[in-house]
Amino acid sequence: MRNELDHYIENNSCRLDDVLVWLERETNIRTNRGRMLSGATQGRFLELFSTLFSPRNILEIGTFTGYSAVALARGLPSGGSLDTIEKNDELEPLIREAFRRGGVTDSVNLILGDALDIIPSLNKMYDLVYIDGNKREYPQYYRLVYEKVLPGGYILADNVLWDGKVCPENNSADAQTTGIISFNSMVVSDPGVKNFILPLRDGINIIRML
């Protein structure tokens, strides 16, 4: 039933960007972690969210092969920019090829390295932050970007349902699950934000700064 609904959604939504179709195929061919890709449904959501919000500055934590960066960059206004951080430098050739094919090279800045080291050095305020990095470090990412998001801006965090492991009856003591649970708890108890967990794919926590 789930696969049937996925196909129905895909067939009744706007046609996916050819570049993202190409990148999904290349990611599965050239990496062994194709499951980490945002995918068609989430890619459409990110592009639409960015287009509706029209953020001038976006920060992405976790580029992987560039799928979500290309989707988010579609919503940038003229002169807007997206900074995206990726720790695995072996992915750089594919990322840059994706940016070139997507026509976003001039608006997307790829930063290679550890996000925990890089974020404090970014002297910029952001309208939108997309978190899709190391799940163990989600609480740390949240603390680091908090003062870098403008009032009325958004933080989107991916994988916050973590295959259902976040539920009390299912969760384990592994560090990634613990990181996601701690992050979700931090957000919902934070009086400075409003949030909603959208059950799209593996869950997206949509957080608005007050």
How far is residue 10's CA from residue 202's CA, in Å, rounded to a whole number? 17
How far is residue 186's CA from residue 92's CA, in Å, rounded to a whole number? 33
First to last CA, the chain: 39
How far CA 54 is from CA of 70, 75, 109, 143, in Å, comes to 14, 5, 18, 24
pLDDT in tens, 38-56: 788 899 999 999 999 999 9
Sort 143 into a burial class: Cβ within 10 Å, 0-12 / 13-18 / 19+: exposed
- The percentage of the chain sitting over the pLDDT mark of 70, rounded to a whole number, equals 99
Q: pLDDT value at position 9?
A: 83
CATH number of the domain bearing residue 170: 3.40.50.150
More confident residue, 180 or 14: 180
- Residue 25 predicted with pLDDT over 70: yes
Q: pLDDT value at position 195?
A: 98
Q: What residues are paired with 157 via a beta bridge? A: 131, 205
Q: pLDDT value at position 173?
A: 77
Q: pLDDT value at position 170?
A: 76
Q: What is the DSSP string of the chain?
A: -HHHHHHHHHHTSPPPPHHHHHHHHHHHHH-S-GGGS-HHHHHHHHHHHHHHH--SEEEEE--TTSHHHHHHHTTPPTT-EEEEEES-GGGHHHHHHHHHHHT-TTTEEEEES-HHHHGGG----EEEEEE-S-GGGHHHHHHHHHTTEEEEEEEEEE-SSGGGTTSTTT--S-HHHHHHHHHHHHHHT-TTEEEEEE-STT-EEEEEE-
Domain with 175, as residue range(s), is 2-209
pTM to 2 decimals?
0.95
Q: What residues are paired with 128 via a beta bridge? A: 58, 154
- Residue 2 predicted with pLDDT over 70: no
Domain count, the chain: 1
Confidence label for 1 from pLDDT (cuts 50, 70 and 90): low
Q: What is the mean pLDDT of residues 8-31?
A: 90
Q: pLDDT value at position 207?
A: 98
pLDDT in tens, 75-125: 999 999 999 999 999 999 999 999 999 999 999 999 999 999 999 999 999
Packing angle, helices 92-102 and 18-30, rounded to 10 = 170
Q: What is the mean pLDDT of residues 131-160?
A: 98
How far is residue 148's CA from residue 98's CA, in Å, rounded to a whole number? 27
Q: pLDDT value at position 36?
A: 77
